[in-house]
Amino acid sequence: MRIGIVCPYSWDVPGGVQFHIRDLADHLIGLGHHVSVLAPADDETPLPPYVVSAGRAVPVPYNGSVARLNFGFLSAARVRRWLHDGTFDVIHIHEPASPSLGLLACWAAQGPIVATFHTSNPRSRAMIAAYPILQPALEKISARIAVSEYARRTLVEHLGGDAVVIPNGVDVDFFARAEPRPEWQGGTIGFVGRIDEPRKGLPVLMKALPRILAERPGTRLLVAGRGDEVEAVEKLPAELRPRVEFLGMVSDEDKARFLRSVDLYVAPNTGGESFGIILVEAMSAGAPVLASDLDAFTQVLDQGAAGELFANEDADALAAAAVRLLGDPERRAELRERGSAHVRRFDWSTVGADILSVYETVTDGAAAVAADEPDEPGGLLARFGLARD
Tell me if residue 270 falls in helix, strand or coil: coil
Checking if the pLDDT of 218 tops 80, the result is yes
- Cβ 276 vs Cβ 258: under 8 Å: no
So what's the pLDDT on residue 44? 78
Judged on CB neighbours under 10 Å (0-12, 13-18, 19+), 17 is buried
**SS3 of the chain: helix, strand, coil, percent, to 5:** 45, 15, 35
pLDDT value of position 298: 95
Angle (nearest 5°) at CA 25 between 65 and 359? 100
Among 64-78, 151-165, 333-347, which is the least confidently predicted range?
64-78
Q: What is the 8-class DSSP label of residue 228?
A: -
CA distance linking residue 315 with residue 310, whole number of Å: 9
What's the pLDDT band for 150 if we cut at 50, 70, 90?
confident
Residue 385 DSSP SS3 = coil
Cα(180)–Cα(186) distance, rounded to whole angstroms?
11
* Helices H / strands E in the chain, number of each: 15, 15
Instruction: Give 170's DSSP letter.
Output: B
169-180 tens-digit pLDDT: 999 999 999 999
pLDDT of amino acid 130 = 58
CA distance linking residue 305 with residue 60, whole number of Å = 37
Average pLDDT of span 211-238: 96
Q: pLDDT at position 385, please?
A: 46
Could you give the percent of the chain with pLDDT greater than 70? 87
The residue type at 254? D
Fold of the 2-169+348-383 domain: Rossmann fold (3.40.50)
Q: What is the overall mean pLDDT for the chain?
A: 89
Please report, for the chain, the start and end positions of each structural domain, with discontinuous segments joined by +.
2-169+348-383, 172-345
The SS3 call for residue 167 is coil
CA–CA distance, 33 with 90 (Å, rounded to integer): 12
| Per-residue pLDDT at 204 exceeds 70 | yes
- CA–chain centroid gap for 184, Å, is 25
Residue 65, pLDDT score? 60
**DSSP secondary structure letters along 88-153:** -SEEEEESTTSTTHHHHHHHH--S-EEEEE----TT-HHHHHHHHHHHHHHTT-SEEEESSHHHHH
Compute the distance between CA of residue 306 and CA of residue 302 in angstroms, rounded to an integer: 6
User: Which residue type, as a one-letter code, is found at position 80?
Assistant: R
Q: What is the pTM of this model?
A: 0.84
Is residue 17 scored above 70 in pLDDT? yes
Select from 106, 16, 132 the least CA-distant residue to 65.
16
Q: Name the DSSP class of 195.
A: T
Minimum mean pLDDT range among 92-106, 116-130, 269-283, 301-315 = 116-130
**Secondary structure of residue 291 in the 3-state scheme:** strand
Percent of the chain residues past pLDDT 90, beyond the cut: 68
Q: What interhelical angle do 315-326 and 329-342 show, nearest 10?
A: 100
3-state secondary structure of 181: coil
Intra-chain end-to-end CA distance of the chain, in Å: 28
Q: What is the mean pLDDT of residues 303-332?
A: 98
128 pLDDT tier (thresholds 50, 70, 90): low
> Given this chain, do its domains 2-169+348-383 and 172-345 carry the same CATH topology?
yes
Number of residues written out for the chain:
389
Domain covering 172-345: architecture: 3-Layer(aba) Sandwich (3.40)
Give the integer Cα–Cα distance in Å for 375 and 387.
6
Q: What is the pLDDT of residue 155?
A: 85
pLDDT one-digit tens code per residue, 334-356: 999 999 999 999 999 999 999 99
Torsion over CA: 231, 236, 239, 245 (sign): negative
| Residue 213, C-beta contacts closer than 8 angstroms, at least 6 positions apart | 219, 240, 243
- Compute CA distances 239 → 101, 233, 244, 246, 318, whole Å: 48, 11, 11, 16, 21
The predicted pLDDT at position 74 comes to: 81
| pLDDT higher than threshold 60 for residue 389 | no
List Cα–Cα distances, 326 to 179, 201, 218, 263, 321, in angstroms: 21, 20, 11, 7, 9
Res 167: pLDDT: 95
